[in-house]
Amino acid sequence: MNRLGTVFWVVLALASGLTMYMVKYGVQNLEDELARVRKQTVAEQLEIRVLNAEWSYLTQPARLAELNKQFVSLAPIATKQLQQSIGNIPLRALSEPPAPEPPAELSVQAAPPHAAALPARDLPVSPVALTPVALSPVALNLASAPVPQAARPVQPTRGLDELFAQIAGRH
């Protein structure tokens, strides 16, 4: 009985020692991993900063205006295109047969706020409401809105590098 007890305690001590060893090394590995991830996080944050700056540089109004002139030739929105706000367009009478359901993303864009409560098929989205005339002026800010796909074939721009090079020129 006494010997059995001794064996039990010895085994227990060995097992706990082994567990401790494994946990310690496990933790150490995790610490290393954590340090690595942290370093990477900081690097990514710095990179995001650079990318934000580059995005701003590439979307500056002067450049967009230039690209617009080069590729799409959109003009500033004319006053006559804005004679009505979307809220002034009357709702379709409910008794009429429902219009074909518009694509979801268009209905979201063009629906006046007060129509949100109506069932989807009664949304006052007609072809008229979807013309540029009725869209919100801000969404159609042609002079400086980001230029759509048409601007893709831009010659590869060096972007930030170019500007950095300019700045560095004075050193």
Using rule CB under 8 A, residue 82 touches another protein: yes
Per CB under 8 A, which region of 4-12, 43-51, 89-97, 111-119 contacts another protein? 43-51
Number of chain residues interacting with another protein (CB under 8 A): 46
Judged by CB under 8 A, the residue of 19, 29, 131, 141 near another protein is: 141
Judged by CB under 8 A, the residue of 2, 6, 73, 83 near another protein is: 83
Using rule CB under 8 A, residue 128 touches another protein: no
Where on the phi/psi map is residue 159: left (φ > 0), alpha (ψ -120 to 50), or beta? left
| Residue among 100 and 113 whose Cβ is closer to another protein | 113
Closest CA to 137 of 96, 86, 97: 86
Using rule CB under 8 A, residue 132 touches another protein: no
Q: How many Å from the N-terminal Cα to the C-terminal Cα in the chain? A: 87
Closest CA to 110 of 128, 100, 90, 125: 125
Token representation of residue 32: 């290393």
Closest CA to 10 of 26, 24, 25, 2: 2
Closest CA to 152 of 55, 52, 66, 67: 67
Using rule CB under 8 A, residue 154 touches another protein: no
Using rule CB under 8 A, residue 56 touches another protein: yes
Using rule CB under 8 A, residue 133 touches another protein: no
| Residue among 72 and 84 whose Cβ is closer to another protein | 84
Number of residues in the chain: 171
146 contacts 67 by C-beta, under 8 angstroms: no
Using rule CB under 8 A, residue 13 touches another protein: no
Token representation of residue 55: 């995005």
Residues that bind another protein (CB under 8 A): 31, 34, 38, 41-42, 45-47, 49-50, 52-57, 59-62, 65, 76-79, 82-83, 85, 136-138, 140-141, 143-144, 160-161, 163-171
